[in-house]
Structure 1
Amino acid sequence: MIEPRLAAHMLVSVLRRQAEAHGGFAMVIRKGDPEAGSLMIIRREKGENPTIFEPVPGSSATREWREIVHQDIDSEEYISEYCQRLASRDPDIWIIELDVPFAQRFTDILAAIS
């Protein structure tokens, strides 16, 4: 039996609240389909070092994430272009940016939604 999946807009809401609870903040860069949209996260630490994370497809009961792109802050253009390419392939995708004080806080946030 397939386990029910949390609606995308609910997952985004949880991410935003978890980011704030861990001393960071979240911003929705792009809204996708409220029910079935996929999700991409851009993580920043104190406004720097953007890293893109996407869910790993698989049969695991918990949601796993993998790092896709890690660029220096000078490469904002690359991050923007990557997001645009992804959105053109998947019009239902949500793009969320989480700015956290430390990488460990981001790990804690992801654990809360797994």
Structure 2
Amino acid sequence: MADESSARLTSAMLVGALRRRVAAGGGFATILVKGDDISGVILVQTMEKGQETGLFERVSNFSGGHALMRCGPDPQEGAQAMVHYVERRRRSDPDLWVIELDIPEAERFAAETIC
């Protein structure tokens, strides 16, 4: 029998919860790239009123939990830089998820839901 502390939510469950929570908060959330349902890495592209505010990756932290870490190009580098970054990441990890959130404080919504 599996130890209860080793149980974890799948990537698909986390993404679904994040989409529902953002929608309930009056925002917009969409899956740009669907990854592996069980253990795909999750990238969260944050937006506010259509303006990109950053890209974050869900990573393991030292305490056994998860955190969001800023990754990818600076939003000021433009949409094309982000597209190239995601394409490179997808080539090395085809199981990767990319979720776009458009809501004020999108990073907070993501951290509170998937970390």
Mark yes or no: TM-score above 0.5.
Answer: yes
One-letter code aligned to 2:60: P
Cα deviation for residue 109 of structure 1 reads 4.0
Residue equivalent to 2:15 = 12
Residue equivalent to 2:63 = 60
State whether structure 2 residue 65 is matched by structure 1 residue 91: no
Unaligned segments of structure 1, at least 5 residues: none
For normalisation by structure 1, the TM-score amounts to 0.85
Provide the C-alpha distance between the structure 1 equivalents of 2:66 and 2:84, rounded to a whole number of angstroms: 26
State whether structure 2 residue 27 is matched by structure 1 residue 24: yes
Unaligned segments of structure 2, at least 5 residues: none
Cα deviation for residue 16 of structure 1 reads 0.3
Structure 1, residues 44-96: CA drift from partner, whole Å, max 9, x if none? 01110341001233332432101124313x71000111110111110111111
Residue equivalent to 1:112 = 113
Provide the C-alpha distance between the structure 1 equivalents of 2:61 and 2:110, rounded to a whole number of angstroms: 20
Contact map agreement 1:18 1:109 (CA 8 A) in 2: no
Number of residue pairs the alignment of both structures matches:
111
Provide the C-alpha distance between the structure 2 equivalents of 1:79 and 1:23, rounded to a whole number of angstroms: 25
CA pair 90-4 structure 1, distance change in 2 beyond 3 A? same
Provide the C-alpha distance between the structure 1 equivalents of 2:87 and 2:65, rounded to a whole number of angstroms: 28
Residue equivalent to 1:39 = 42
